[in-house]
Amino acid sequence: MTSIKLYVYDLSLGMARNLSMGLTGNQIDGIWHTSVVVYDLEWYFGQGIFFDPPGTTIYGSPVKIIDMGKTEVPKEIFLEHIEGLREIYTADKYHLLDNNCNTFSNGLCEFLNGSKIPDNIINLPAEFLSTPMGRQIRPFIESFFGPRKIVHFAADAVLVSAVLAGIKRSTGLSVATNNIENQEIRKAVDKFLNVGEWVFDQSILIMNTSAYFERKR
């Protein structure tokens, strides 16, 4: 029998726990990414199905490791199952709610021994999108990436664009998109930056009315 471990990462690096109540009205402890460690490899879904030695992925160190029990599935059968999943878990089929890294981990654990990953992880996207801010942000994310093509790092992309908007407001420095020769890429970057401006403005509006924030100057 082989042990199964669920590696849990927080893509927000702690920011979700600290800011979510003030920004969304809900306590969100993390933006979870998960992977499954079995047969001495860490398996995960991003822009397809990948594997690495445990703890060496681009996501850094897991914030927690959950024991998911053991499996009697032979390694050869497991690898055949993985190959069968590659047509389902592709970059273009990624979806924030229905086909993400956590649904991949959940399905893999179910195949290995019938276990399921924690509900608070699998239900996180729906929980966030049910908040006032989530309902406002979703159309912008979907219009940018397409409703069936919300890539794995969409939340991080929005965060980066909001940070760039904050830098622009405080220093006047902004991305020189006019220097981008490719017109399509320039339009995409402008749209990306516009999302950040909107998120930045909405965040300020929410913070102004939240008891969790106070103005110091």
Query: pLDDT tens across 3-58, in order?
Result: 999 999 987 666 666 655 555 556 666 778 899 999 999 999 987 899 999 999 88
Q: Which of 68 and 137 is assigned the larger pLDDT?
A: 68
Is the pLDDT at 150 greater than 50, yes or no?
no
pTM: 0.62
Give the integer Cα–Cα distance in Å for 21 and 172: 30
Helix (H, G, I), strand (E, B) or coil at 16: helix
Helix (H, G, I), strand (E, B) or coil at 156: helix
Helix (H, G, I), strand (E, B) or coil at 23: helix
Residue type, 1: M
To the query of whether residue 33 is one of the catalytic residues in this protein, the response is yes
Is the pLDDT at 144 greater than 50, yes or no?
no
Q: Which of 21 and 61 is assigned the larger pLDDT?
A: 61
Is the pLDDT at 189 greater than 80, yes or no?
no
Which residue of the set 33, 81, 95, 152 is catalytic? 33
Of residues 103, 86, 87, the one with CA closest to residue 95: 103
Confidence of residue 113 (pLDDT cuts 50, 70, 90): very high
Burial class (CB in 10 A: 0-12, 13-18, 19+), 207: middle
Give the integer Cα–Cα distance in Å for 137 and 49: 28
Q: Is domain 2-126 in CATH 3.90.1720.30, yes or no?
A: yes
Per-residue model confidence as pLDDT tens digits over 151-180: 444 555 556 666 677 777 778 888 787 877
Which residue of the set 81, 95, 101, 152 is catalytic? 101
To the query of whether residue 109 is one of the catalytic residues in this protein, the response is no
Percent of the chain with pLDDT strictly greater than 70: 60
Give the integer Cα–Cα distance in Å for 11 and 62: 10
Give the integer Cα–Cα distance in Å for 52 and 182: 35
Residue indicated by tokens 């919300």 = 150
pLDDT at 131: 66
The structural domains of the chain, with segments of one domain joined by +, span 2-126, 153-208
